Amino acid sequence: MGEWLALLSACCFAASNVTITMGADAKAQDNGAFLSIMLTAGIAGALWLVQGVGQGWPAPNRAGVLWFAGAGILTIFVGRVFSYASIQHLGAVRASVAKRLIPLFSIALAVLLLGETFDFGMLIGMLLIGSGFAVLIVQALRTRDLEPAEGQVPTSWAARLGSLGFYYGPVSSLAYAVGYIARKQGLNVLPDPAFGTMLGSLVGGLVFVLVAQFVGSYRAALRNTFSAFKPMLFVAGLLSSAGQLFYFAAISHSTISRVALISSLEAFVTIFLTVAVTRSFKQLNGPILLAATLGVAGTVFLIR
């Protein structure tokens, strides 16, 4: 059951990746991240109500609520917002490949924080995933198919990577990795995925609104969310919400490692959908395919 839910999650996230690029270019003020957070809260809330009416609600407890709230800040706010920014600036294919950093960070955190055993296979997996991300970086620095968000070309390679949006992916992946661990801990003490997703989304949305009081780009995103309806971003929000719900349901029925392995297929599904929808092979080249393959192979070594 958990494996099929993980596959559905990967397909939904892949479709969302492609839809985001169709609804927002690199210079758009609103990429649909806040809209997707609100849609996730609404869908999860509806599922929670239906579930409660039919089967009753598990008794809430303080530990579960705190774990879910923390997971919401990490996965719904930091993870989702930076993931949308990564897709907006890098494109669907590169961003999906960059998300293969999630299992790398998950294993590293498990070893450092939880005291899990680190072996040679894990080292190989981390090196493969890191190499895949390095391939993306080298390819971006050598080509001109990505343009800096501000239309200026920085002189240093670090500044150029920042202007291209390459830092969004690692930040998002780290937040997701920590958040999924928190989410799993919450499910262990309060086995209610719909409630956890709803609460996490509401907390993440609240943090977004609070940050918008100090950051102009977030204020603009909030304003655009309620002043202009963008069909493609609405669809992207529905798909990413479904992907999040399927993922959280998957880890409640299976282990994080098995779910992470199946979810790594997202990169290849994104490649397929990008070619099918755009009927263009522009983003499909040797380095991209190599990076995606290294990322999936690294995931296999990490969670074998």
Q: Give the position of tokens 């999906």.
A: 96
The Cα–Cα gap between 276 and 269 comes to 10
- Residue 79's identity, in one-letter code, is G
CB 116 within 8 A of CB 110: yes
Position 281 scores a pLDDT of 66
The Cα–Cα gap between 118 and 57 comes to 39
Pure H helices in the chain: 2-23, 33-55, 62-71, 80-90, 92-98, 101-114, 120-142, 157-164, 168-189, 193-212, 216-227, 231-253, 256-263, 266-278, 286-303
CB 233 within 8 A of CB 35: yes
CA angle 164, 165, 166 (to 5 degrees): 100
The Cα–Cα gap between 126 and 270 comes to 22
Distance of CA 107 to the CA centre of its chain: 17
State the virtual CA torsion across 178, 190, 203, 27 in degrees, nearest 10: 50
* Mean pLDDT of successive 10-residue stretches along the chain, which has 304 residues: 84 91 77 91 92 80 94 93 85 79 79 76 82 78 54 51 68 90 87 90 95 89 86 92 84 73 78 78 73 80 67
Residue-range domain boundaries for the chain:
2-303
Q: Give the position of tokens 């943090």.
A: 207
Query: How many residues appear in the chain?
Result: 304
Q: How many CB atoms lie within 10 A of CB 169?
A: 27
Tokens of 44: 């999860």
CB 93 within 8 A of CB 288: yes
Q: At what angle do helices 33-55 and 193-212 cross, to 10 degrees?
A: 150
Please measure the distance between the N-terminal and C-terminal CA atoms of the chain and give it in whole angstroms.
19
The Cα–Cα gap between 61 and 295 comes to 38
CA angle 275, 279, 280 (to 5 degrees): 75
